[in-house]
């Protein structure tokens, strides 16, 4: 297991000035990844050299297929994230209810799309059903980002034991 430092700098941090300050601090500290909203990718690239993961939150799962096409149209990889992350404003953060049968999950369907890019899943651990959802997402995701409000129930240890080397587990 290797360690990497991820810094979350999406719209929940504040306006662009607040996000830029956090991203700049991450760059100066030598962080490995920054997690931002998709609209900020180009601005992050202007700040410095860091891996950029971007939340895909527009709800149109077919757009994940268009990532490679968007790079071809612009001719500029600076507008493209190194990894696309699903789950914000979706099932992963409980904005949309988890389906009882995960085969009907929009987030998981998005992760399963073909394409030459890293995929990430963002899951707030709100109970055992979200642990199971994170496990299932880890089968498809290169990076599985888990947020816990109460780590006393030890879900992180459970996830490490169950997921193993299937994904990069970010907590």
Q: Which CATH number fits domain 5-170: 3.40.50, 3.90.1720, 1.10.3470, 3.20.20?
A: 3.20.20
User: Which has the higher per-residue pLDDT, 96 or 169?
Assistant: 96
First to last CA, the chain: 14
CA–CA gap between residue 24 and residue 135 (Å, rounded): 32
Q: Which two tokens stand for residue 139?
A: 């089968």
Reduce the DSSP state of residue 8 to 3 states and report it: strand
For 79-89, what is the mean pLDDT?
A: 92
Share above pLDDT 90 across residues of the chain, in percent, rounded to a whole number: 57
The pLDDT assigned to 47 comes to 97
User: Which has the higher per-residue pLDDT, 88 or 165?
Assistant: 88
Residue 87: beta bridge partners? 89
Tokens 């953060």 belong to 93
Write out pLDDT tens, residues 90-119: 999 999 999 989 988 999 998 988 777 899
User: What are the sequence ranges of the domains in the chain?
Assistant: 5-170
The pLDDT assigned to 164 comes to 66
Radius of gyration of the chain (CA): 16
Task: Say yes or no to pLDDT of 63 above 60.
Answer: no
For 66-92, what is the mean pLDDT?
A: 71
- Strand 83-86, strand 143-148: pairing: unpaired
Reduce the DSSP state of residue 151 to 3 states and report it: helix
User: Which has the higher per-residue pLDDT, 61 or 134?
Assistant: 134
Looking at residue 66, the DSSP 8-state letter turns out to be: G
State the DSSP H helix or E strand holding residue 68, giving kind and residue range, or none if neither. Answer: helix 67-74
The pLDDT assigned to 117 comes to 81
């Amino acid at each position: 297991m290797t360690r990497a430092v991820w810094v979350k700098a999406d719209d929940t941090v504040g306006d662009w000035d607040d996000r830029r300050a956090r991203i700049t601090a991450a760059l100066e500290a030598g962080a490995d990844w920054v997690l931002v909203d998709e609209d900020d990718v180009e601005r992050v690239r202007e700040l410095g050299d860091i891996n950029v993961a971007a939340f895909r939150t527009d709800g149109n799962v077919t757009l994940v297929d268009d990532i490679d096409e968007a790079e071809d149209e612009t001719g500029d990889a600076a507008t493209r994230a190194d990894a696309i992350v699903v789950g914000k404003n979706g099932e992963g953060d409980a904005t949309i209810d988890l389906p009882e049968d995960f085969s009907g999950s929009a987030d998981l369907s998005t992760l399963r799309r073909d394409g030459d890019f890293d995929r990430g899943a963002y899951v707030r651990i709100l109970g055992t059903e979200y642990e199971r959802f994170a496990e299932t997402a880890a089968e498809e995701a290169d990076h599985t980002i888990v947020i816990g409000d109460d780590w006393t129930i030890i879900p992180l240890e459970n996830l490490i034991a169950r997921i193993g080397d299937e994904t990069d587990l970010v907590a």
